[in-house]
Amino acid sequence: MKNQDGKVILTDKKVFHVGDLYFKGGKQVAMAEWDVTATEHFDLGLKALETDTHTYIIPLKTDITHATVEAEFNYLYTRDETFPVQKVVKEIVIEKY
């Protein structure tokens, strides 16, 4: 989220992750030493058709008149390959009471 001058007001990142941990002799090891009998699978991923919601309460200075909120969903295929899935940018007018 940025104010009307482009200054960042808020930034947040959430990672949904699916992976495997590899063990040998009860200790975690690199995938190169992988043993199928000692694999622990964990799934912290976002499931198909599942939604995720975040609510933020942000105290703003009185001189902020509007803000730009940008949300982006990226798919991390490998450590070096990321693909954009969707990006949404919304302009918000801050009303004074």
User: What is the per-residue pLDDT across 24-36, written as a single tens digit (0 to 9) for each?
Assistant: 666 666 655 555 6
Q: Say whether pTM exceeds 0.75.
A: no
Q: Tell me the mean pLDDT in the region 5-26.
A: 80
- Separation CA 1–CA 13 (nearest Å): 12
Per-domain boundaries in the chain: 1-14+56-97, 17-51
CA distances from 37 to 24, 29, 34, 96 (A): 9, 13, 9, 62
- Given this model, what pLDDT does residue 34 score? 54
pLDDT bin (cut points 50, 70, 90) of residue 92 is very high
- Separation CA 73–CA 34 (nearest Å): 31
Torsion angle of the four alpha carbons 81, 86, 87, 88, in this order, in degrees rounded to the nearest 10: -170
First-residue to last-residue Cα distance in the chain: 22
DSSP letters spanning 45-73 = PPPTT------------TT--EEEEEEEE
pLDDT bin (cut points 50, 70, 90) of residue 23 is low
